[in-house]
Structures are given as C-alpha cells and as structure tokens.
Amino acid sequence: MTEKTRIYLVRHGEIAGSEIFRYHGQADVPLTPKGVDQYHQLAKRLQDKPVSACYTSDLSRCTRGADIICAGFGIKPHSRRELREMSFGSWEGMSWQELEKRFPDEWHARLADLVNYRAPGGENLLDLSNRVMPAIHEIEGRHRGEEVVVVAHGGVNRVILLNIIGAPHSSLFKIEQDYGCLNIIDYYADGNSVVRLLNG
C-alpha cells in the first residue's frame, strides 16, 4: 500500500448572525454556543483517531475550535494565515440583499463570473486556490504516513475538495459544507488522492 497522509478537513462551527448570509470573508466573526458545541462533537468523533498534528486558519472561529479538538490529543494547533477564508474586500460584512441593492452592477458581475470576479480590494477563486493549495500540499507532504486535522472555512474547503476531484472552480457551490462538518481526504505518495467522506 502506498504511503498516505489522511487529512480530517473541518469547517468551523456556526457563527453569530448566520441566519442571514453575509460575506464575512476574513472578518473575525465569533462562534455561537451551538458552534462551540459542534467542535466538541467533532472532538468526540475524532478522539480515537491517531491524529499527530493540527493546522488552522488564524481567524478565531477556527482557532477556538482547533484548541477544543487538539486538547484531546495533547497537541497544539499550528495557525496558518493561508487557510483564511477568501477576502471579499469592501464587501465584507454585507448581505447578498445589501449588495444587490447598493452595487447591482458589481453584484451581477460576480454572479456572471464566480471564478474571476474580485470584490473591490478582495480576492477571486483563483487567488484563493493559489493561496490555499500550496499550504495543503506542504502539510500533506510534511506528515506523510500520518493523520492530521485542518480547520478552515466553507470556501477554503470547497476549493480543496474541487482540486482533489478535478472539478472546475465554477462548481464551487455544487459541494455543500455545513457548519461543523467533517471531510476525510487521503493523499497518497504516488500523487493520487481520494475523498473518503464529504460534508459528514
């Protein structure tokens, strides 16, 4: 059997104000009590796994959960800025409805070109992928033969999963990532990779 790295890829728990969809991006939005509980449930699900390391976005909705998960393994999470959510620049904190009302032309331009459009001062999906994927490949290469937790965001996770299955970035929203979900990915030393669990 070819040596592999198993990554338990987690989306952060529920965040405050999640009942209205907003482009939070890299704003540091707090977890709800339910979001904290989702991390404790994830910790229980992973408690029997031989996890040797944990990497997390440096935003608090991820670092707090990484601390919860890591407590059971006696390890400390490594904070990585590269794992932050996509930046939406001046749009951060705004809802879809607000953007459609205030910036209708820009809003429709994004809907028409999800991959290439950048909100003012922000990133597009190619920027996000070019930031995230080198970090993921570094992590899986560094921990060959080990099992690792990565705590990140909906957009980040979708980009990672699309990369593995060879789907275009335009398929981003064909993959669901619920708050507090778990994905399991095996990266093999021969270059192959497999999604074992999606949005579990």
* Tokens describing residue 169: 């970035």
Name residue 147's beta-bridge partners: 6, 51
Q: Is 88 left (phi over 0), alpha (psi -120 to 50) or beta?
A: alpha
pLDDT band at 98 (very low <50, low <70, confident <90, very high): very high
User: What's the whole-number mean pLDDT along residues 85-99?
Assistant: 93
Give the active site residues.
12, 85
List, in order, residues 6 or more apart from 16 with CB less than 8 Å away. 29, 30, 31, 32
pLDDT tens digits for range 52-64? 999 999 999 999 9
pLDDT band at 82 (very low <50, low <70, confident <90, very high): very high
* Tokens describing residue 60: 């608090």
pLDDT at 1: 57
Q: What is the pTM of this model?
A: 0.96
* Tokens describing residue 200: 């579990």
Residue 181 pLDDT greater than 90, yes or no = yes
Of residues 125, 124, 115, 121, the one with CA closest to residue 91: 121
pLDDT tens digits for range 1-41? 578 999 999 999 999 988 888 889 999 999 999 999 999 99
Query: Measured in whole angstroms, how far is the alpha carbon of residue 100 from the centre of its chain?
Result: 26
CB-CB contact of 56 with 85 (8 Å): no
Query: Domains along the chain?
Result: 4-88+125-197 (3.40.50.1240)
CB-CB contact of 132 with 82 (8 Å): yes
